[in-house]
Amino acid sequence: MAKILIFCETQGNSLKTVALEMATKINQYPGHIVDAVFIGNVPAEATTQLAQRGVNKIFSLKSSLTSYSPEGYAKLISSLVKENGHDYCFAGATSMGKDFLPRASSALKAPLASDVTNFIFEGDTFFGTRPFFAGKCLAKVEFKTTGPKFISIRPNALGLEGVCKESSPNVEEKQISLDSLRAIVKEVVKGTSEKADLTEANIIVSGGRAMKNSDNFKILHELADVLGATVGASRAAVDSGYAAPAMQVGQTGKTVSPSLYIACGISGAIQHLAGMRTSKIIVAINSDPEAPIFTKADYGIVGDLFKVVPLLTEEFKKLLS
């Protein structure tokens, strides 16, 4: 029986879905004790969500921190893992998870498997799958050491389908003192967009160089608003100044795993495919019938995106109204 800790990241008062994905997947393998941990207060809705996913106990870690600190979070999580004897610590492979989890594993001299897209348990032994070489190959990950082990899971990779067991977790507050930190976050400036980050978005609408200019991205935003999606871009579009660097999907941008990825005017260069090939459904819109993106797409539309995208927007409005 393994003792497992899941780090729960929040956005405002909402729990990020990757924590629920991890809890759902782990509880497909009976016999494990699954705990969750929050830094700071636990949102009321999150407690209900985690109870529906079979979480045993919820820790609320209180300290002198008032905002995110990679060093501070690493110390808090590693301290809890060590004190409670957790065999595994899971976190989402988000910007935050990728930042502090290696520090936490290093503090305990523990191994780390990063950006895992699937896993199984055989007894207490973890076997994970993670892509490398831009997703061309899949590596099987197995830990050979005893003691705690750290794993980061790519958001949206596991999904929420599967066996869930109801539980009634207690919330335990723990006050942990932090020694002086070498760096302190003085201010966090929020982005203007209220939409989900690309790495966590369930639906993404992306544009390529064929968008021609930044103003034309308006039609993608209109479609995204109807679908509740986030807008992305290819490197060619970003390099041309049509989109902000934060919107870039690809090998040198963000790696995404949405349920639906709509590629508009994107040819399908290998660098872009590396960042979105794990999407569940890929829809490609391109005027070139020989575009490489069509070899990876589940559905393809050969046509002028400036005619096709507005038509899709209107049809989705009718369907979803």
The CATH number given to whatever domain includes residue 38 is: 3.40.50.620
In a domain, 190, yes or no: no
Over the stretch 174-227, which tens digit does the pLDDT of each residue have? 998 887 888 877 777 776 666 778 988 999 999 999 999 999 999 999 999 999
On whether both 142 and 10 belong to a single domain, the answer is yes
In a domain, 69, yes or no: yes
- Position 206 scores a pLDDT of 98
How many CB atoms sit inside 10 A of residue 72's CB? 23
- Residue 187 tokens, joined: 């201010």
- Position 149 scores a pLDDT of 97
End-to-end CA separation in angstroms for the chain? 48
Task: Give me the phi and psi of 60, to 5 degrees please.
Answer: -120, 105
Three-state SS at 270: helix
In the chain, what percentage of residues exceed pLDDT 70? 98
In a domain, 53, yes or no: yes
Eight-state DSSP code of residue 133 = T
On whether both 215 and 161 belong to a single domain, the answer is no
Three-state SS at 142: strand
> How many domains does the structure of the chain reveal?
2
On whether both 202 and 146 belong to a single domain, the answer is no
On whether both 150 and 213 belong to a single domain, the answer is no
Q: How far is CA 101 from CA 154, 200, 270, 302, 321, in A?
A: 13, 18, 29, 44, 42
Q: Write the CATH number for 240.
A: 3.40.50.1220
On whether both 157 and 289 belong to a single domain, the answer is no
- Taking the C-alpha atoms of residue 318 and residue 321, their distance in angstroms, rounded to an integer, is 5
DSSP sequence for 30-68: TT-EEEEEEESPPPHHHHHHHHTTT--EEEEEE-S-SS-
Question: Which residues does residue 87 pair with via DSSP β-bridges, in sequence order?
Answer: none
On whether both 129 and 163 belong to a single domain, the answer is yes
- Residue 312 tokens, joined: 């899709």
Over the stretch 83-133, which tens digit does the pLDDT of each residue have? 999 999 999 999 899 999 999 999 999 999 999 999 999 999 999 999 887
In a domain, 181, yes or no: no
Banded pLDDT at 241 (limits 50, 70, 90) = very high
Q: Is the model's pLDDT at 62 over the cut of 90?
A: yes
- Position 193 scores a pLDDT of 63
Residues of 86-111 as b/e, b for ≥16 C-beta within 10 angstroms?
bbbbbbbbbebbbebbbbbbebbebe
Q: Is the model's pLDDT at 234 over the cut of 90?
A: yes
On whether both 83 and 126 belong to a single domain, the answer is yes
pTM assigned to the model: 0.86
**Domain end call among 107, 140, 175:** 175
What is the arithmetic mean of pLDDT over 256-280? 94
Q: Is the model's pLDDT at 134 over the cut of 90?
A: no
Residue 101 belongs to domain spanning: 3-175
On whether both 28 and 167 belong to a single domain, the answer is yes
Pairing, β 125-132 against β 230-233? unpaired
In a domain, 188, yes or no: no
- Position 191 scores a pLDDT of 66
On whether both 315 and 206 belong to a single domain, the answer is yes
- Position 225 scores a pLDDT of 95
Q: Which helix (H) or strand (E) holds 101?
A: helix 95-107
On whether both 93 and 234 belong to a single domain, the answer is no
In a domain, 115, yes or no: yes
Banded pLDDT at 48 (limits 50, 70, 90) = very high
- Position 145 scores a pLDDT of 87
In a domain, 191, yes or no: no
- Taking the C-alpha atoms of residue 38 and residue 40, their distance in angstroms, rounded to an integer, is 6
Eight-state DSSP code of residue 3 = E
- Taking the C-alpha atoms of residue 35 and residue 50, their distance in angstroms, rounded to an integer, is 9
On whether both 205 and 151 belong to a single domain, the answer is no
- Taking the C-alpha atoms of residue 160 and residue 23, their distance in angstroms, rounded to an integer, is 9
Q: How far is CA 241 from CA 127, 192, 259, in A?
A: 42, 19, 28
Over the stretch 65-84, which tens digit does the pLDDT of each residue have? 888 999 999 999 999 999 99
Average pLDDT, the chain: 92
Q: Is the model's pLDDT at 50 over the cut of 70?
A: yes
Question: Which residues does residue 152 pair with via DSSP β-bridges, in sequence order?
Answer: 91
On whether both 297 and 242 belong to a single domain, the answer is yes
In a domain, 185, yes or no: no
